[in-house]
Structure 1
Amino acid sequence: MTVRLVLYGAGALAREIVDALERLNAHGTSIALQASIVDPGLDAPEIFRGRPVVRDVRAFAGDDGLRFVVALGEPEPRARAAAHLRNTIGARFASIIDPGVLIGGSSRIGAGAVILGHSSVTTDARLGEHVLINPGCTVAHDDVLKDFATLSPGVHLAGHVQVGEGAFLGTGACVIPKIRIGARAVVGAGAVVIRNVAPGQTVFGNPARALPARPRPQTPPTA
């Protein structure tokens, strides 16, 4: 059975996903790209990878055989796009896992997740909906990634790590065991996380420390 797929997005991540689709098809998983969606007003070609670019998601209403993947790299835009598709046309989502990815049999992957090549998800991991794992990442045993969590290329999570909803980990970040990274937190590129990260907090460095708050501008005295 062939999966008829529509991508939301036509940028770099969408191109990486199309390459993964070609490898999946070569390995016997039949996925046919139908179109890509781009928000109205954005500069984009009319054709992406040989398929039409559509500006209105309602063009796909009523076709229950379609599956969607949101090809946007940032967590918040990805969450907005998924909600828009779900609320407007009742979209159903597919997960894309490159055939070069190693997935433990006891791990679970949510709908809409994208896992790109040369990554590994070991045993008893739990990945939520619309999680994005870029190439070369390690998700170790018993890790939990909540919906819309994003790992940039080369991120390594040790065991029993929890990554909150919509959190973003920059390229090459490393997290030691049993750390909790809060919802919508940001971990800078190359950071080594050895302490819990609060929801919405930004950390960077080795060891990772919170980004200092910006000083408030001083109001000049009045006469």
Structure 2
Amino acid sequence: MTVRLVLYGAGALAREIVDALERLNAQGSSIALQASIVDPGLEAPETFRGRPVVRDVRAFAGADDLHFVVALGEPEPRARAAAHLREAIGARFTSIIDPGVLIGGSSRIGAGAVILGHSSVTADARLGEHVLINPGCTVAHDDVLEDFATLSPGVHLAGHVRVGEGAFLGTGACVIPKIRIGARAVVGAGAVVIRNVAPGQTVFGNPARPLRRV
């Protein structure tokens, strides 16, 4: 059965997802990109990867055979887009997992998640809805990533780490075991997190420390 897919977004992440789709299809999946959505007022070409670019999500109302993925890299815009799709048309979301990703059989992944190549999710991890894991990340045993959490390329989480809803970890960040990163927190690129991060807090450095505003 072919999955008819619509992407919300037509930028760099959408291009990475389409490349993952090609690899999935080469290994026996059947996923057909139908269209991409961009917000009104944003500059965008009329087509993306040979499919139409649509400005109004209501164009897909009643198309119950479609599945959606939000291809936006930042947590807050991704959350707004997912809410808009649910409220406007009752969209159904699907997950995209690159065939180069290693997933432990005991781990669970929520709808709308995107996991890109050469990442690994080991034993008993729990990933919420619309989580984004970029290439080269490690999600170790018993980790929890809440909805809309985002790992930039090369992030490594040791075991029993919890990443709160909408938190963002920058490229190359590392987190030691049993750390809690609060909702909507930001961890800077290359940071080494050895202490819990409060909700909404921004930390950076090695070891990671809160950003102090002057």
Structure 1 42/106 Cα, relative in aligned 2: closer, same or farther at 3 Å?
same
Q: Deviation per CA, 1:26-71: give whole Å up to 9, x if none.
A: 0101000000000000000000000000000000000110000000
TM-score of the superposed pair, with normalisation by structure 2 = 0.97
CA offset at residue 215 of structure 1?
A: 15
Distance 1:39 1:176, change over 3 A: same
- Normalising to structure 1: TM-score of the pair? 0.93
The percentage of counterpart residues that share the same residue type is 92
Partner deviation per Cα, 1:69-126 (whole Å, 9 max, x = no partner) = 0000000000000000000000000000000000000000000000000000000000
Residue 214 to residue 201, structure 1, CA distance change in 2 (3 Å): closer
Specify whether residues 53 and 180 from structure 1 end up closer, same or farther in structure 2 by C-alpha distance, changes over 3 A only.
same
Coordinate RMSD, CA, aligned: 2.7
CA distance in 2, matches of 1:47, 1:107: 37
**1:197 CA drift (Å):** 0.1
Greater gyration radius:
1
Change (3 A) 1:182 1:54: same
Cα displacement (A) at 1:177: 0.1
Deviation of residue 216 (structure 1)? 15
Q: Do the aligned residues in 1 keep the contact of 2:191 with 2:208 (CA within 8 Å)?
A: no
Q: Does 1:214 pair with 2:209? A: yes
Alignment coverage as a number of residue pairs: 214
The structure-2 alpha-carbon separation of the partners of 1:183 and 1:27, relative to structure 1 and needing over 3 Å to count, comes to same
Provide the rounded CA distance (Å) in 1 between the counterparts of 2:53 and 2:47: 5
C-alpha distance 60-172 of structure 1, shift in aligned 2 (>3 A): same
2: distance between equivalents of 1:164 and 1:120? 19
The list of structure 1 runs, each at least 4 consecutive aligned residues, that deviate by more than 2 angstroms after superposition, is 212-219
- Structure 1 residues 31 and 216, CA gap change in structure 2 (3 angstroms): closer
The reply on whether 1:57 has 2:50 as its aligned counterpart is: no
Residues in 1 aligned to 2:176 and 2:212: alpha-carbon distance in whole angstroms: 37
Q: Could you tell me how far 1:217 is from its partner in structure 2?
A: 15
For structure 2, list consecutive stretches of 5 or more residues without a partner in the other structure. none
